[in-house]
Amino acid sequence: MQAFLASTHNYAILDDHDFGPNDSDRGFWNKNESLKAFELFWANPSYGVGDISGAITFFQWGDADFFLLDNRTYRSPDKRKTGEKTQLGEDQLQWLFDNLSSSHGTFKFVVMGGQFLSTSPTYESYTNYGFDKERKRIINYIYEENIKNVVFLTGDVHFSELAVLRKKGMPTIWDITSSPLSSGVNTKAKEKDNTLRLDESVIIERNFAELKLSGTIEERIIDITYFDGDGNKIWNYSISRE
């Protein structure tokens, strides 16, 4: 791992186990220390954007834009029943909206800990615990602004899958989930009914994903390849720009 980290750029997000206890949220008493530790460990371009603090940043790689989000610092408690539920907080959400609209990237990668598209009523996906209203807000914004080639990069669930939301006349939205790299494997993944997943994409073993962009600007392609812990190819899929 040390040789790998030394060989290329590294960018990081955090999720609950980096931030605090399991399923932790904005109420975690020691979150400021968690963010300080994150800053010491990861050499991200920034730790927050503008006046918005947190593990939030942005970078460009060729003709691709990457928006790295913090889904813990401003997150409502999962079990809270009253009030508006949010994972990102209004300021971070508006920052994402503004920058998706102004992005010139061929592909726009939105990177966050928990799954975005999954319709499974389990775990901490955006359709669970009352967060679906914010999920719909994000989808509707992408539709109304006609923002094409938005791809979410997610993890958290201890298995991998590829999900896609297609609606006639609207931009296609993708969610590439890669998990876990080194922790335990969720052996019951196929029982979790995500109606937007590509069934053949489910991977129930330790793995990691490699994304390669190729082709001319007009015919740009993301080639997604999943590998096991020994570097053997498990599954491959390609996404073409719209």
The domains located in the chain, with CATH, are 2-204 (3.60.21.70)
Q: How many angstroms separate the Cα of 15 from the Cα of each of 68, 73, 143?
A: 12, 10, 27
Is residue 123's pLDDT more than 90? no
Tokens at 69, concatenated: 């989000």
Give 54's contacts (C-beta < 8 A, 6+ positions apart). 35, 47, 48, 70, 73, 74, 92
Tell me the CA distances in angstroms from 53 to 28, 48, 79, 95, 186, one per residue in order.
16, 4, 24, 12, 33
Say what the pLDDT of residue 136 is: 98
The token pair at 35 is: 């963010």
pLDDT at 192: 77
Name the average pLDDT for the chain: 96
Which SS3 state, helix, strand or coil, does residue 6 take?
Answer: helix
3-state SS string for 160-186? EEEEEECCCCCCCEEEEECCCCCCCCC
Write down the pLDDT at residue 162: 99
Beta-sheet strands, E only, within 69-184: 107-111, 150-154, 161-165, 173-177
Sign, CA torsion 45/51/54/56: negative
The residues near 128 (Cβ < 8 Å, ≥ 6 apart) are 78, 120, 121, 122
Q: Which two tokens stand for residue 55?
A: 């593990």
Q: What is the pLDDT of residues 29-68, one digit of tens each?
A: 999 999 999 999 999 999 999 999 999 999 999 999 999 9
Residue-wise pLDDT tens digits, 167-204: 999 999 999 999 999 999 999 888 878 999 999 999 99
